Structure 1
Amino acid sequence: MEKLMDVTSAPWFVVLPDQDLSPDLLDRLRNLSGPDALQVVRHPSGRPWLAGRWSDDRMTVCVLGEVRLAVAGICSLNAAELAARAGRIRATADIEAALSGAHGSFHVSASVAGRSYVRGSFTGKRRVYRAQVDGVTVCADRAHVLARLTGAEVDTAQLALRLAGVTVPHPLADSASWRGVGAVPPAEAVELEPGGGARTLRWWQAPAAELPLREAAAGLREALRRAVALRVGPGDVVAADLSGGMDSTSLCFLAAEAGARLVTATLHWSAPTNEDRVYATLAAQRLPHVERLVFAPGDVPACFAGLDERLDPGDGPSLVRRDRLIQRHLAEEMRSRGTRLRLSGHGGDHVVQPPAAYVHGLLRRSPAAGLRHAAGLRARSRQPLGATAKALLDRRSYASWLAHAAGRLREPAPLMDFGWGVRPQLPPWASDRAVESCREQLRAAARDAVPLHRERGRHAWIAGVQQAGLGDVHFSHDAALAGLPQHTPFCDDAVVEAALAARPHEAASPWSYKPLLAAAMDGLVPEPILRRTTKDHCMPEWQEGVRLQRRTLAAWADDSRLVAAGVADEAELRRALLSPGLLSGAVSELETTLVAEGWLRDVEHQETLSRSRDLNDSGDLDHSREMNDAPTAR
């Protein structure tokens, strides 16, 4: 029997247009806020503009004359500085210029001259969704809030796409998991007009990739230093991952440089070839003021522990599920040592090193250099010469690439590709209906697809960054519920911009690992760590965790929600769930499927809880907190 846990709602906010709304809309928003008071900030007209539930230390609201400006998240601007910036705004077109130079990771919302403006971060870490509510467009930072507000159902077409895991391409990767709820592309903002209309505006452009390695590394180091210093200061007791990898280790040394006292967590996975422990120990020996926590596999819950527990479904299926209880255990241990936040290197893999597709453009700009890099990458992947040459000579547009991928969803993707991205692939148990649905979506996207950049290497790099940002939404959400907020400086916009400014063939190399980050951390992080070329895994623990879940997997095989939704083939899925050890080449696909199955059960459970709460509701909905009483409020 599955364990039923209370589902805790996360902080959220909605942005409303400056017009008369349905009389019961605020009542429905108050219902969504649960036992907490609904917070409301009003337009100059007196109509509601921002509503939701958030902590005061994560939302800075400025009310200055006829302008309302709010920043939610981590931002270098304090309340007084934000008020000064708000004084420069006369129209929504002034907002981004007024915020120029601000760094961190945050949402921006504004009410100016009767228009509402909202955007997230271009990394996708701070996201914005939109939906029609009672005939008007409403935006929110959480898709699930809009789904609850509109009574939307799960979009099974999007669920079918999620079986392809991280290979879902742009723009489908940004899609929401609910019918009628749309995801705003990370580089775009939404402007809500008084008459009920809405339009999207592009607020971010990728920087030119022209800086030589030394100059780009200096910019990346400064951006990372500011990102860390924005979160920690002298004497702060800070939790930090110390995996032995370059990303988390770099953040530890930057936090120590900022004067923090560190409590670090290192997991010693059991693979005989694992080298993480060696590099983590080396780093810890060089770090000042560090308390090191080391965990063997037997010290923490198994992978997939708690698979049968129902959770807050969040905005969609999340890979957090695999090691959720492991991370909860680490967070509890670090929090007991007095830490107030946790630094994580999540996102570093995607941010500081472009994917292999950079070679495609390099070959055309500098044939000799392009051939050298292609030969090096081919040697590492052991791909046949013919396949490598074919990939290099391919000149398909992004639209053509999407259409081509639509016809090959059942085929394995090549080991290395210089295309627009990793070709999407569905697992063997995806139903024929799911495959056809994904094909239709890919073909529809191909009809008017616009890549994230005209050059495929840059497109693939930006898409990877946004994939990391989306993953961080789920990780940060779960960490907040665990009571130790997780911060990922690599996903800050300014850090990503600094990395993207590097020449791609210098930021990546077949002969070294993460050369851009290594150059940026030169002189701060011990040299042996910067020279490391290996990356370890926890596959033995993954396999053991799946084995320990055989009872739950058998129960899910008997009553699969994916099968009921028409997304999975019953016989094929049963075979995979009952004999996961026999899978060949579909390990990541199985995890993605378990995540989707569990998420559907979470949604079902939350709907049951919501109906129960509605029946028991006393009807007292008049609990809200207004925030228009001061020029600036935090």
Structure 2
Amino acid sequence: MRHAACHVVRHESGRPWLLGCWEESQARIVRTGPVRLALLGTCRTSAAELLLRADKLSTAAQAEDAVRGTAGCFTLLASVRGVVHARGAAAGARRLYRASVDGVAVVADRARTLAWLTGAGVDMAQLAARITCLESTPFPLDRAAVFEGVRAVPPEHAVHLDRSGRADERRWWQAPPQDLPLAEGAAGLRQALREAVAARVRPGQVWGADLSGGMDSTSLCFLAAETGAQLVTTTLELSDAANEDAGYARSAAAALPRGTTCLSFPIAELEPYLTGLADGGEPDDEPALKRRDLAQQRRIRAVLREHGAERRLCGQGGDHVVLPPECHLHDLVRHRPAAAVRRLAAFAALQRWPRGATARCLADRRGHGAWLAGQAALLARGRTPAAAPDLGWGPSMTPSPWATEYARQATADLLRQAAADVPPLAAARGPHRWIYQAQQAGRVAVTYEQYGMDLEMPFCDDAVLEACLRVRPHEALSPWSYKPLLAAAMRGIVPDPLLDRTTKGDASAEWHAGMKAQQPVLAAWADSSRLAAAGLADRGALRRAWLSPGTLPAACGPAVEAALAAEAWLRDVETHPVPDYLEEHPRDRDPVP
């Protein structure tokens, strides 16, 4: 591995501890006596301050005390007398994997690195789990590595390596209590977002910032303006005349400080969705859903660089962390029935929930393991769950039309095993699914980082997630207003009309246009499908889904794209068996002073 490492950091003994390539601005690495401490990613703590904290460590696990309260999104690594503590981010935006290489435990931030080191192939059962359900990949299968013999470290766990190289995992993060009223919780979220932006943006720096017109990106723009940064905002003008995003973006731009550069990109002047699909490229650690707009994002990045902005703030993750899932109503009925009644009635009317199905969902007292086993049984039989409100431990696992019996059985087997072995992320459904959806956003952040998009996503910081989780969920989600928690947090920073918006735009028209433009590629891929060859997907069903997605229910769109992402990923793994990032690099023998 040394040929591929720009930097080497050593244990006290002189043995290599960290090997890799990272930007100097994205690393804080210090050593004092037997202690080595590293933060890789975005953080506000200086190397000098980190050195003072490192000097107080007597064990590797105490590294958590050294970084408590540090804003940003980073990987934490510590070595004390040869014992190692390593973890990513609780929100999933920084990940770690581990595997055994010649009997020695090795930890990496890329699953492909470990797959290459061990000669591991694709784990087809785990890949099946990515395409079998119409909804997103269920917990805990969503966090698994898709290479045989490579283990993804759960975001809330750290790897502990002893001096002999043996590894185990220890929980380092717990969800906070959900006990704050909205006003108090909003103040905490405001502070967390301010610190998250300040950890990235400095006064006078030129920064790009998405300004979609949505509340998430708009909030980040105004917070970045507070820091004194020179902003260059980017707005996509979509084709749907009913989409209000561009109008809200223009209103926000008019309220930003004088000197802000506001760039607008009519969608017709950008590459269509899925442009370059057939070109392939370096595969990610797992199939990536964000391939759809890669060409557009690269164009926007190039224009921002022409304006002097090397990195861009993005509102990704806002929907996932500031809005609790509706299943918190299941918890609320038991703990605060009076508060639940009115909200249940409002949500039932808004979502048109059938009264009988709603009552059955609320009466379901199964724990996570029993619920997961029940879903596995339905999936194995190929049965579609009865229509019902989404109040379970996860989305109902409706089998996709293209999933073969083998794919369904493989996924069901993994679910049964998880039902017996894997505890939920929290004791109740609401916080469990809130953390799950936040970690889904974190996975997207990792994908963009690996694609080199130079995006910063403050909503995916652990401190922001924790600030949201502290709020009573029935106050953070309302049938009568949109994103009440974020709106309360941003009052006085973002103009009120922008916070009072109740609509949300989407790019479904652009997605369908992109699928239509790629029909020749999609037809060829269906005929030579790697998923079909592996026994995971029915070739005819894939062809129908890819060439005529408009004939499927609207809810199938993400699943169609997930199957397409898996197909593209398998093809890329074929053509790039050796990761390009492991090519030889100029080396800095010892970057730590």
> Which TM-score applies when normalising by structure 1?
0.90
Q: Secondary structure at the match of 2:78?
A: strand
Residue type at the aligned position of 2:405: D
**What pairs with 1:243-254 in structure 2 (closer than 5 Å)?**
243-254=212-223
**What pairs with 1:205-354 in structure 2 (closer than 5 Å)?**
205-288=174-257, 289-354=259-324
Indicate which of 497, 513, 519 corresponds to 1:528: 497
Residue matched to 2:395: 422
Indicate which of 348, 352, 359 corresponds to 1:378: 348
CA drift of 1:427 comes to 1.4
Deviations 1:199-219 (A, max 9, x none): 111111111111111111011
Residue type at the aligned position of 1:30: R
Take 2:447 and 2:284, find their aligned partners in 1: how far apart are those partners? 7
Deviations 1:310-340 (A, max 9, x none): 1221211111111111111111112211112
Q: Do the aligned residues in 1 keep the contact of 2:212 with 2:234 (CA within 8 Å)?
A: yes
Structure 1's 77 and 160: CA in aligned 2 closer, same or farther, altered over 3 A? Answer: same
Q: CA RMSD in A?
A: 1.8
CA drift of 1:413 comes to 7.1
Q: Do the aligned residues in 1 keep the contact of 2:43 with 2:200 (CA within 8 Å)?
A: no
**What pairs with 1:336-485 in structure 2 (closer than 5 Å)?**
336-409=306-379, 410=382, 411=384, 414=387, 416-478=389-451, 480=452, 482=453, 485=454
Q: Do the aligned residues in 1 keep the contact of 2:30 with 2:592 (CA within 8 Å)?
A: no
Q: Secondary structure at the match of 2:63?
A: helix
Q: Do the aligned residues in 1 keep the contact of 2:161 with 2:167 (CA within 8 Å)?
A: yes
Identity of aligned residues (%): 50
Q: Do the aligned residues in 2 keep the contact of 1:166 with 1:467 (CA within 8 Å)?
A: no
CA drift of 1:577 comes to 3.0
Residue type at the aligned position of 2:198: A
Q: Secondary structure at the match of 1:167?
A: coil
Structure 1's 165 and 384: CA in aligned 2 closer, same or farther, altered over 3 A? Answer: closer
Take 2:585 and 2:275, find their aligned partners in 1: how far apart are those partners? 41
Residue matched to 2:65: 97
> Which TM-score applies when normalising by structure 2?
0.96
Structure 1's 532 and 416: CA in aligned 2 closer, same or farther, altered over 3 A? Answer: farther
Take 2:519 and 2:155, find their aligned partners in 1: how far apart are those partners? 39
CA drift of 1:172 comes to 1.5
Q: Do the aligned residues in 1 keep the contact of 2:134 with 2:400 (CA within 8 Å)?
A: no
Indicate which of 552, 558, 583 corresponds to 2:527: 558
Take 1:264 and 1:606, find their aligned partners in 2: how far apart are those partners? 36
Take 2:411 and 2:169, find their aligned partners in 1: how far apart are those partners? 26
Take 2:142 and 2:400, find their aligned partners in 1: how far apart are those partners? 17
Q: Secondary structure at the match of 1:62?
A: strand
Deviations 1:561-612 (A, max 9, x none): 11111111122223323433333342221111111100111111112787xx
Residue type at the aligned position of 2:468: A
Structure 1's 504 and 608: CA in aligned 2 closer, same or farther, altered over 3 A? Answer: closer
Take 1:278 and 1:353, find their aligned partners in 2: how far apart are those partners? 24
CA drift of 1:412 comes to 5.6
Q: Do the aligned residues in 2 keep the contact of 1:167 with 1:425 (CA within 8 Å)?
A: no
Q: Do the aligned residues in 2 keep the contact of 1:66 with 1:112 (CA within 8 Å)?
A: yes
Residue matched to 2:19: 51
CA drift of 1:506 comes to 0.8
Take 2:77 and 2:578, find their aligned partners in 1: how far apart are those partners? 33
Q: Secondary structure at the match of 1:371?
A: helix
Take 1:391 and 1:113, find their aligned partners in 2: how far apart are those partners? 53
Structure 1's 359 and 202: CA in aligned 2 closer, same or farther, altered over 3 A? Answer: same
Query: Do residues 500 (structure 1) and 441 (structure 2) align?
Result: no
Deviations 1:142-201 (A, max 9, x none): 111111111111111111111137622222111001110001110110111122321111
Q: Do the aligned residues in 1 keep the contact of 2:329 with 2:340 (CA within 8 Å)?
A: yes
Residue type at the aligned position of 1:359: L
Structure 1's 279 and 578: CA in aligned 2 closer, same or farther, altered over 3 A? Answer: closer
Indicate which of 60, 69, 75 corresponds to 2:37: 69
Residue matched to 1:78: 46
Residue matched to 2:107: 139
Q: Do the aligned residues in 1 keep the contact of 2:83 with 2:160 (CA within 8 Å)?
A: yes
Take 1:508 and 1:573, find their aligned partners in 2: how far apart are those partners? 37
Q: Do the aligned residues in 1 keep the contact of 2:98 with 2:108 (CA within 8 Å)?
A: yes
Q: Do the aligned residues in 1 keep the contact of 2:353 with 2:389 (CA within 8 Å)?
A: yes
Deviations 1:274-325 (A, max 9, x none): 1111111111110113211112221111011111111221211111111111
Take 1:494 and 1:309, find their aligned partners in 2: how far apart are those partners? 39
Residue type at the aligned position of 2:143: D
Q: Structure 1: state its 5+ residue gaps.
A: 1-28
Structure 1's 38 and 277: CA in aligned 2 closer, same or farther, altered over 3 A? Answer: closer
Indicate which of 626, 630, 633 corresponds to 2:589: 626
Residue matched to 1:8: none
Q: Do the aligned residues in 1 keep the contact of 2:76 with 2:86 (CA within 8 Å)?
A: yes
Q: Do the aligned residues in 1 keep the contact of 2:9 with 2:592 (CA within 8 Å)?
A: no
Query: Do residues 167 (structure 1) and 136 (structure 2) align?
Result: yes
Residue matched to 1:150: 118
| Aligned length, in residue pairs | 587
Take 1:113 and 1:551, find their aligned partners in 2: how far apart are those partners? 59
CA drift of 1:386 comes to 1.1
Q: Do the aligned residues in 2 keep the contact of 1:413 with 1:425 (CA within 8 Å)?
A: no
Q: Do the aligned residues in 2 keep the contact of 1:557 with 1:578 (CA within 8 Å)?
A: no
CA drift of 1:404 comes to 1.2
Deviations 1:350-375 (A, max 9, x none): 11110001111111111121111111
